[in-house]
């Protein structure tokens, strides 16, 4: 009897045990978001340091690679750049003047709450989803650096994604082109609200779809900017998502939909900025 | 594949086993996103699970699949346990089947990687897309499934040739 049990536990038993364990994890993570907790800590001490190290090595190698240019090229470039500096100095002076004017006018209109003023912290992308069905990535900053769930992630001037999970030294970000991404947005110049949705079929082309925009008299054209709307409860207001590339009136004649070209180049994401305030902080609502 | 790894299960071969699994995970998440062809990446974790099963048997294959899957579930996945389950089954079945059949045959490896890919991709697609009622199977089939399948098979074949070359060189040196 004991032998039998032993031989059963030998291999098949382990197999069923592990399968059961996986099933339990799946069920648990359907009900609570804390299932991965212990594993998250383990990952933070094993794979994440390696990824960070490799990432640093990659940057280093790239820097070395870009060091191989000849003196002649550098001299040429230097003289060109000097000429360019002169041009820019003149331009800069003009712009400075205009900036003072702009500041004054902004103050008049109380418009200085643009998202340039949100506090941000920079992070490196150290790994991307290995599969083909999703677009998520992890960054090298986590709880210890003050990152929390639902913080917005920018790249350059555009919205890249949102933090969905945080480990001690890393955080998982779902990009806006992922199939599970849904954002409440609006056009910048006419404030028409719409929903921006990621889509598997568009993900690879780097496009996103928008829908449910009211078919009103306001004119929407290709090239119009789309930003996060004021009514979103996860995304801060006024962050650029992308530019409209195509718009059409839906069959019901009540709404409009179309496609956006995102402001972020997702195929080559390396550095991102995380806004260290969530919408819940801004509105004073507590996270559930 | 098996014969080359499996002469004896020495301590060195176990170190190699762990190192290769970690390398596979790092490559999958850091290197391959830069090497996509037609927008898809090959599935190195799958190849690693199958190879572990073939080279070391049922239990090590199962363990390899389980830990690789769990790691990518925790770091990248949505539902924890989904990828772990899929890779676990693949690792176990590879070990089991290569125990039954003549060992070291490249055809067996190809069939296992191919079937594993089909099983894995369909399983994940079903669980993460169809259960959210996102039906775009034709797109997924032509744009992700088939290119991914071909790419994965090609990478598996390439890795097999490299391993064969190295083990051939090692064997020659041992003979001398």
3-state secondary structure of B54: helix
CA A53, CA A178: separation in Å to the nearest integer? 27
Query: Which of A127-141, A232-246, B87-101, B130-144 comes out lowest in average pLDDT?
Result: B130-144
For residue A279, give both structure tokens: 């919408």
3-state secondary structure of A211: strand
According to DSSP H, which parts of B27-145 are helical? 44-56, 58-75, 82-100, 106-128, 137-139
Query: Which residues, in sequence order, are CB contacts of A233 under 8 Å at separation 6+?
Result: A279, A280, A283, A285
| Cα B74 → chain centroid | 18
Best to test chain A binding among B18, B75, B141 (most A CBs inside 10 Å): B75
Confirm or reject contact between B22 and chain A (CB < 8 A): yes
Kindly list the distances between the CA atom of residue B170 and the CA atoms of A286, B20, B156, in Å, as whole numbers in the listed order.
Answer: 63, 18, 21
Confirm or reject contact between A202 and chain B (CB < 8 A): no
Report mean pLDDT in 10-residue bins for chain A, 288 residues. 59 86 84 70 79 81 70 85 89 85 69 62 86 85 90 87 89 89 87 87 81 84 86 86 89 89 84 86 64
| Cα B13 → chain centroid | 18
- pLDDT confidence bin for B140, thresholds 50/70/90: confident
B121 near B82, Cβ under 8 Å?
Answer: no
CA B20, CA B14: separation in Å to the nearest integer? 10
Backbone angles phi, psi at B41, to 5 degrees: -110, 150
**pLDDT of B6 over the 60 cut:** no
Query: Which residues, in sequence order, are CB contacts of B121 under 8 Å at separation 6+?
Result: B144, B145, B148, B149
The per-residue pLDDT for A3 is: 60
Q: How far is B19 from chain A (nearest CA, A)?
A: 12
Q: Which residues of A touch B40 (CB under 8 A)?
A: 132
Q: Which residues of A touch B75 (CB under 8 A)?
A: 43, 47, 127, 138, 170, 172
Backbone angles phi, psi at B29, to 5 degrees: -95, -20
The per-residue pLDDT for A288 is: 45
Backbone angles phi, psi at A10, to 5 degrees: -45, -60
The per-residue pLDDT for B116 is: 94
The per-residue pLDDT for B71 is: 87
Contact B85 A127 (CB under 8 A): no
Instruction: Check the CA dihedral B42-B43-B49-B50 and report its sign.
Output: negative
Kindly list the distances between the CA atom of residue A154 and the CA atoms of A162, B103, B148, in Å, as whole numbers in the listed order.
Answer: 9, 52, 30
> Which strand (E) or helix (H) includes residue A227?
strand A225-228
- pLDDT confidence bin for B106, thresholds 50/70/90: confident
**Which of A23, A137, A172 faces B81 most closely, judged by CB atoms?**
A23
**Which of A23, A51, A132 faces B148 most closely, judged by CB atoms?**
A132
3-state secondary structure of B20: helix
3-state secondary structure of A68: coil
Q: How many residues in chain A?
A: 288
Query: Which residues, in sequence order, are CB contacts of B77 under 8 Å at separation 6+?
Result: B83
A239 near A118, Cβ under 8 Å?
Answer: no
**pLDDT of B85 over the 80 cut:** yes
What ipTM did this prediction achieve?
0.76
**pLDDT of B125 over the 50 cut:** yes
**Which of B28, B79, B139 faces A29 most closely, judged by CB atoms?**
B79
The per-residue pLDDT for A111 is: 44
CA B71, CA B83: separation in Å to the nearest integer? 9
A265 near A157, Cβ under 8 Å?
Answer: no
For residue A71, give both structure tokens: 């003196």
B163 near B1, Cβ under 8 Å?
Answer: yes
Q: Which residues of B touch A24 (CB under 8 A)?
A: 81
CA A227, CA A243: separation in Å to the nearest integer? 9
Burial A74-111 (b: 16+ CB within 10 A, else e): eeeeeeeeeeeeeeeeeeeeeeeeeeeeeeeeeeeeee
A164 near B79, Cβ under 8 Å?
Answer: no
Q: Which residue from A minimizes the CA distance to B123?
A: A133
A130 near A248, Cβ under 8 Å?
Answer: no
Of B167, B47, B93, B38, the closest CA to residue A11 belongs to B93
Residue B103 burial (C-beta neighbours within 10 Å; 0-12, 13-18, 19+): middle
pTM: 0.72
For residue A250, give both structure tokens: 């839906």
3-state secondary structure of B166: helix
CA B131, CA B2: separation in Å to the nearest integer? 38
Contact A132 B139 (CB under 8 A): no
């Amino acid at each position: 009897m004991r032998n039998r049990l032993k031989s059963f536990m030998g291999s098949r038993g382990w197999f069923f045990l592990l399968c059961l364990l996986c099933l339990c994890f799946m069920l648990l993570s359907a009900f609570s978001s804390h299932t991965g907790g212990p594993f998250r800590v383990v990952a933070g001490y094993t794979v994440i340091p390696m990824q960070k190290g490799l990432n640093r090595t990659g940057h280093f190698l790239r820097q070395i690679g870009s060091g191989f240019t000849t003196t002649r090229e550098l001299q040429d470039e230097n003289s060109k750049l000097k000429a360019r500096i002169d041009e820019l100095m003149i331009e800069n002076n003009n712009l400075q003047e205009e900036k003072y004017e702009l500041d004054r006018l902004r103050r008049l209109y109380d418009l200085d709450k643009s998202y340039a003023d949100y506090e941000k912290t920079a992070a490196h992308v150290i790994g991307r989803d290995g599969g083909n069905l999703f677009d998520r990535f992890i960054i090298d900053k986590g709880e210890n650096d003050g990152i929390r769930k639902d913080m917005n992630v920018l790249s350059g001037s555009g919205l890249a994604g949102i933090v969905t999970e945080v480990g001690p030294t890393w955080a998982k970000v779902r990009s806006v082109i992922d199939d599970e991404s849904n954002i409440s947005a609006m056009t910048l110049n006419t404030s028409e609200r719409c929903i921006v949705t990621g889509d598997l079929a568009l993900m690879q082309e780097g496009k996103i779809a928008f829908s449910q925009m009211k078919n009103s008299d306001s004119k929407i054209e290709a090239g119009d900017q789309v930003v996060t709307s004021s009514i979103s409860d996860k995304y801060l207001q006024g962050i650029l998502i992308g530019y409209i590339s195509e718009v059409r009136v839906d069959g019901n004649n009540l709404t409009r939909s179309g496609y956006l070209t995102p402001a972020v180049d997702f195929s080559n994401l390396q550095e991102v900025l995380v806004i260290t305030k969530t919408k819940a902080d801004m509105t004073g609502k507590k996270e559930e | 594949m098996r014969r080359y790894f499996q002469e004896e299960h020495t301590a060195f071969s176990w170190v190699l086993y762990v190192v290769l699994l970690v390398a596979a995970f790092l490559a999958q998440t850091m290197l391959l996103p830069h090497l996509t062809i037609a927008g898809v990446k090959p599935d190195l974790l799958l190849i690693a699970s199958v190879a572990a099963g073939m080279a070391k048997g049922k239990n090590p294959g199962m363990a390899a699949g389980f830990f690789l899957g769990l790691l990518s579930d925790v770091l990248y996945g949505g539902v924890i346990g989904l990828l772990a389950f899929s890779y676990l089954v693949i690792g176990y079945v590879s070990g089991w089947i290569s125990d039954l059949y003549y060992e070291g045959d490249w055809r067996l490896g190809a069939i296992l990687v191919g079937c594993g890919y089909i099983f894995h991709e369909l399983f994940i697609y079903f669980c993460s897309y169809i259960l959210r009622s996102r039906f775009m199977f034709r797109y997924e089939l032509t744009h992700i499934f088939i290119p991914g399948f071909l790419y994965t098979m090609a990478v598996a074949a390439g890795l097999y040739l490299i391993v064969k070359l190295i083990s051939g060189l090692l064997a020659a040196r041992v003979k001398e």
